[in-house]
Structure 1
Amino acid sequence: MDVYRGFVMTLMAAELLQFDRLHEAFPASAFWAFLAHHQSHVEWAGCSLHDLIQPSFSFLVGVALPYSVASRATLGHGFGKLFGRAVRRSLILILLGIFLRSTHSEQTRFTFEDTLTQIGLGYPFLFLLGYAKPRITWIAFGLILFAYWLAFVIYPAPGSTFDYTAVGVPPDWSEFYTGLMARFNKNSNLAWAFDTWFLNLFPREKPFLFNGGGYATLSFIPTLGTMILGLQAGRWLRSGISQREVLKRFLLAGAIGLASGILLHVLGICPVVKRIWTPAWVLFSGGWCFWLLALFYYVIDVKEKRAWAFPLVVVGMNSIAIYCLVHLIDSFIITSLYTHLGHGPFLIFGPSYEKLLIGAVTLGIFYLILRWMYRRNLFIRI
């Protein structure tokens, strides 16, 4: 679990390598095109490796919950105390997410669509489901996805006179849907309508009209579905069944999730869109999360091939620390490197590779900080 989390956080931090710059410099290179694609989000429907970072992080929150509850229970903590801790953790995650989004703003940016706030909004409900029987949890999972899909479908689709340019969407955009799936079009859906009301309840420099990426506050509801899938995975890991059975369940759950998500998209029932976390996305990305967990479980726990994964363990055991470091001091480190070393050392392979090299050095500095913390048993927990 720590290795998987470390892998996910490393992918997030690796944005500093800026593969897109190399793709621009070498447009004919399939290698840089591939890396650039998987280091960026798809425009709307579909998935890249980068798109799996947030669902993986949310999924792992669910995986960890049974372990956390069991650990606290052995210390004699009752349900009331544990629930209070869950609510406190939820508030900290929400506030931390808002704080990190506001670091380069002149006033607080009240947004709730980033990873931390989305997890925080759903975490108390996940905790309560952690005490429910698996059957009840699966029923809750199905109801969450169906109710979210139904709410979008009931909300009126944008008419032919809807002004997409007013909400940051080109009128000739290639990602528009028709029919039932038109209810999931960018910045013209239920989640967008909710945010045009909800986000304007908070102090803002100017009224909220749309999110440029199409992200939405209400995505925390289906994100809870992603965390529930992780909760079930964590239960299987702690159930005492054989490693072979655990792998079988992970692989089967992953196949069902992927097939279901793709089928809903192909049939025109619900598109696979991360930015508004559609039910089809929950199933599709959840399938990948199960398969990735199966891969790391097989290598680390079944085959016991662990030496190679030590750097990922260092990162994974301090996931909140690396999340904050990347958001708070990446620019400071890069500026300091240029101040004290100049541009010369990062131009040894030519200007096209400068961003790659300084990004790699910055990642190395982050790793040294995390390794120093690891050696001294300094782990940031919320």
Structure 2
Amino acid sequence: METNRSSPPVRLRSLDALRGFDMLWIIGLDTLFRALAHTTNHPALVWWGKQMHHVSWDGLRAYDLIFPIFVFVSGVAIPYALKNKQDRGISRKKLTIQTFKRVAILILLGLLYNGLLDFKGDQTRFASVLGTIGIAYGTAALVFLFTRSFRARCLWTGGILLAVAALQLLVPVPGHGAGQFTPDGIINAWIDQQWLPGHLYGGSFDPEGWLCAFSAGFLALLGCLCGEQLRNRAVPQFKSVIQLLLGGGLLISLGALCWHLGYPPIKAAWTSSFNLLAGGIAMILLGIFHLGIDFKPRPDWSLPLQIVGMNPLTIYLICRIVPMASVSGFFFGGVGRLSSTWEPVVLALGILVVEFILLVFLYRKRIFLRI
């Protein structure tokens, strides 16, 4: 892991902006809208405030899409990062080693994020968000490095989707049978109970368990395919936007069909139906961001999002280590008290302001945390 003070290479601005947009919901925009919903009781804000909570099990809300979109975005970056290194003459062997190193570091950071240094023994949670991102990224990166054609990578992507569906639909779970979509009966739970040590976040399963991480590889590979198509075009083309929008619409339709036929979207189990819906929405968002940003010669409106999106790991870890609510209270507590019933909104907005000022400082100093 290194801190890079040099100017970053030429980047797909829409990718950084979409990553930044996604990160904002993780680092405080969700809390702001929950506070707005509670304070105003406006029907539209109340509805969106409800969207800022995960579904209890099956179904889909906007909050369920934040993590998969980030995995998708990490995949979009793969052709840009790895192909650029290949063009500079870096061998596949070295890139493979770097990939495994990055996966290992993300798993370790995930353990630290989960409280590894608390030394809780069997109560330590080994599965993590960062670990899942690492495994999904590693899967997509290795497929990209060791396959010769775009078609082969498409087959790998579809293969993961079908393999997960086959496991969840057809393989009998001891004591429950096959095709059971309950927290205890789904095969994810059995796999985690057998082979995932430590504390399981969901009790009988872990939403970032082994099968979930493998399933997330579909989204990383889907992003990789999209990134490869975008990178292969020297200048932005409307054809790319149409492909992303139509492809996303097709995946959403397939996901809705699976749901209708009894294979529900379950984010906590990363069902293939969930991957289809999340992947389709991610493709459409990428198409919209690509059209609204990359076809213009300058960053324009998207620069604040890019600033957030260029340091996602930094702000994610800082928010875990630093009590941002206390920092916001220190600077904005007085204003909040004077705002009476709007105090939760002021303090939630204060968290975002503090975080953004920090990210702007890092951006101006050209400090970017890389793995």
5 Å matches for 1:1-382? 1-15=15-29, 17-24=31-38, 28-102=41-115, 105=118, 107=120, 110-131=124-145, 132=147, 133-156=149-172, 183-200=180-197, 202=198, 210=203, 216-240=209-233, 243-268=237-262, 270-304=263-297, 306-329=299-322, 331=323, 333-338=324-329, 340=330, 343-351=333-341, 353-382=342-371
> C-alpha displacement at 1:103, in angstroms?
6.8
User: AA paired with 1:90?
Assistant: V
User: AA paired with 2:125?
Assistant: T
Q: Residue 174 of structure 1 corresponds to which residue in structure 2?
A: none
Match of 1:345, SS state, is: helix
The question of whether the paired residues in 2 share the 8 Å contact of 1:112 and 1:217 is answered with no
Q: TM-score of the superposition, structure 1-length normalised? A: 0.84
The change in CA–CA distance for 1:304 and 1:38 in structure 2 (over 3 A counts) is: farther
Post-superposition CA distance 1:218-263 (Å, at most 9, x none): 2011100000100100111012276121112111210111000000
The change in CA–CA distance for 1:87 and 1:70 in structure 2 (over 3 A counts) is: same
> C-alpha displacement at 1:378, in angstroms?
0.3
Take 2:357 and 2:204, find their aligned partners in 1: how far apart are those partners? Answer: 36
> C-alpha displacement at 1:47, in angstroms?
2.1
Q: Residue 7 of structure 2 corresponds to which residue in structure 1?
A: none
Take 2:281 and 2:356, find their aligned partners in 1: how far apart are those partners? Answer: 27
Take 1:211 and 1:349, find their aligned partners in 2: how far apart are those partners? Answer: 44
> C-alpha displacement at 1:37, in angstroms?
1.8
The question of whether the paired residues in 2 share the 8 Å contact of 1:59 and 1:228 is answered with yes
Post-superposition CA distance 1:132-156 (Å, at most 9, x none): 2111111112221222111122343
Gaps of 5+ in 1: 163-178
Q: % of aligned pairs identical?
A: 27
> C-alpha displacement at 1:377, in angstroms?
0.6
> C-alpha displacement at 1:193, in angstroms?
1.4
Q: TM-score of the superposition, structure 2-length normalised? A: 0.86
The change in CA–CA distance for 1:256 and 1:111 in structure 2 (over 3 A counts) is: farther
> C-alpha displacement at 1:24, in angstroms?
4.5
Deviation >6 Å, runs of 4+ = none
Take 2:363 and 2:301, find their aligned partners in 1: how far apart are those partners? Answer: 17
Give the alignment's Cα RMSD to 1 decimal: 2.7
Deviates more, 1:280-289 or 1:128-137: 128-137
Corresponding residue pairs, total: 353
The question of whether the paired residues in 1 share the 8 Å contact of 2:255 and 2:277 is answered with yes
> C-alpha displacement at 1:77, in angstroms?
0.9
The question of whether the paired residues in 1 share the 8 Å contact of 2:71 and 2:137 is answered with no
The question of whether the paired residues in 1 share the 8 Å contact of 2:183 and 2:205 is answered with no
The question of whether the paired residues in 2 share the 8 Å contact of 1:191 and 1:276 is answered with yes
The question of whether the paired residues in 2 share the 8 Å contact of 1:192 and 1:210 is answered with no
